[in-house]
């Protein structure tokens, strides 16, 4: 694990400590989690941008055709079919 050190405004440091106290976690844990969540958001946005730049392939379009088939049949009502034949 690597240590990061940075400066923040006094009021933000106080608010971070207050939230850490309310949540019952160390301030470091609160900040690590915040950084992690922000990095995930940035990664997701970048992936979305890449998706917009790449044309959809024929194989990806075929998945849409499968979705058009609709839901599979529900065979749950056939569970007792054998009981009716025995009567």
pLDDT in tens, 2-29: 999 999 999 999 999 999 999 999 999 9
Residue 85 has pLDDT above 60, yes or no: no
What pLDDT score was predicted for residue 56? 78
Q: Specify the DSSP element, H or E, that contains 81.
A: helix 81-86
41-84: pLDDT as tens digits = 999 888 877 777 777 788 877 777 776 666 667 777 777 766 65
What six digits make up the tokens of 30? Answer: 């609160």
Beta-carbon-side half-sphere exposure of residue 31 (alpha carbons within 13 Å): 16
Q: Model's pTM, two decimal places?
A: 0.56
For 33-66, the three-class secondary structure string (H helix, E strand, C coil) is HHHHHHHHHHHHHHHHHHHHHCCCCHHHHHHHHH
């Amino acid at each position: 694990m690597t240590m990061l050190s940075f400066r923040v405004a006094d009021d933000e440091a106080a608010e971070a400590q207050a939230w850490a106290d309310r949540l019952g976690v160390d301030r470091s844990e609160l900040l690590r989690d915040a950084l992690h969540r922000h990095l995930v958001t940035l990664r997701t946005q970048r992936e979305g941008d890449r998706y917009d730049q790449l044309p959809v392939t024929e194989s990806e379009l075929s998945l849409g055709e499968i979705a058009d088939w609709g839901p599979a049949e529900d065979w749950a009502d056939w569970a007792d079919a054998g009981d009716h034949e025995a009567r």
